[in-house]
Amino acid sequence: MATITFDTHKFIRRLQEAGLTEAQAEALADAFRDAQGEADLVTKKDLQIELAPIKADITVVKWMLGLLLGGVLALILKAFFPG
């Protein structure tokens, strides 16, 4: 599972500069850290694993489309230039 570094001191200081009390800022920092721990993060490797079958399907579709267009082009050429 991927982790994200979080500077709670900087976060709390910024909240206090915005006008929150220290207790409010600390409560928000704790809530944010807890929510961050519960989040399901997706890594680049996870995405590659999930998208690999889709990439394979897209490759097949591209080949099929190429063959289809080639066939249509052949029919058009045959219509205009009968042999």
Sequence spans of domains, the chain: 1-41, 43-83
Give the DSSP H/E element, type plus range, for residue 20.
Answer: none
Tens digit of each residue's pLDDT, the chain (83 residues): 556 677 889 999 999 999 999 999 999 998 988 887 767 777 889 888 989 999 989 999 999 999 999 999 999 999 998 86
Give the CA angle between residues 69, 71, 77 to the nearest 5°. Answer: 100
Crossing angle for the helix pair 22-38 and 8-17, to the nearest 10 degrees: 140
Instruction: State the DSSP string of 41-68.
Output: ---HHHHHHHHHHHHHHHHHHHHHHHHH
